[in-house]
Amino acid sequence: MANHPTGISPENLRYPHCIVWTPIPMLTWLFPIIGHMGIATSSGIIRDFAGPYYVSEDNMAFGNPTKYWQLRLDKVGVAGSTREMWDRGVHEASEEYKGRMHNLCCDNCHSHVAYALNTMQYDGSTSWNMVTLCFMLLLHGRYVSFCGALKTWLPFTILIVIILAVVLALKL
């Protein structure tokens, strides 16, 4: 897990052209694939829709990333410099979401990232959404470290073990 692609620096919290993810306490403990998402600029600065009318910069709402998915700049689908178009997509999404109310179920951090990808027409698509992003990150995401994986899965595992222990104890 310590072998990261070029440019990725968890020590410096730099994830160039990545989607980043971190667990949300209690929610991720129950549903480990649900968490908080952000998107980084081409230089690795993380932007995340952290709450109503607020998009943070390099200060994710629920802590540092535990998982990331580095996207390819050559898949940015609009004409011009792909690096500039990537950064413009992240900027436009962030400006748009600074004017939006946060809603846990339908207009949230995942929607902010989807807006950025749709704006830059990433991979030729303008239909990115929170469900697609959830599953793509599940398939393509890499943990920042072993501790990142533990932070994601250990609470869920402990909860399942407790539930199983209680069920077994009640049946004996």
Mean pLDDT confidence for 29-56: 96
Distance CA 32, CA 66 (A): 12
Q: Residue 34's pLDDT band (boundaries 50, 70, 90)?
A: very high
Return the minimum-mean-pLDDT range out of 3-7, 53-57, 123-127. Answer: 3-7
Look at the pTM and tell me if it is higher than 0.75: yes
- Mean pLDDT taken over the chain: 94
- Whether the per-residue pLDDT at 8 is higher than 90: the answer is yes
**Domain extent listing, the chain:** 10-171
Instruction: Indicate left, alpha or beta for 159 from its phi (over 0: left) and psi (-120 to 50: alpha).
Output: alpha
Mean pLDDT confidence for 12-25: 97
Burial pattern 96-112, b for ≥16 Cβ within 10 A else e, equals bbeebebeeeebbbbbb
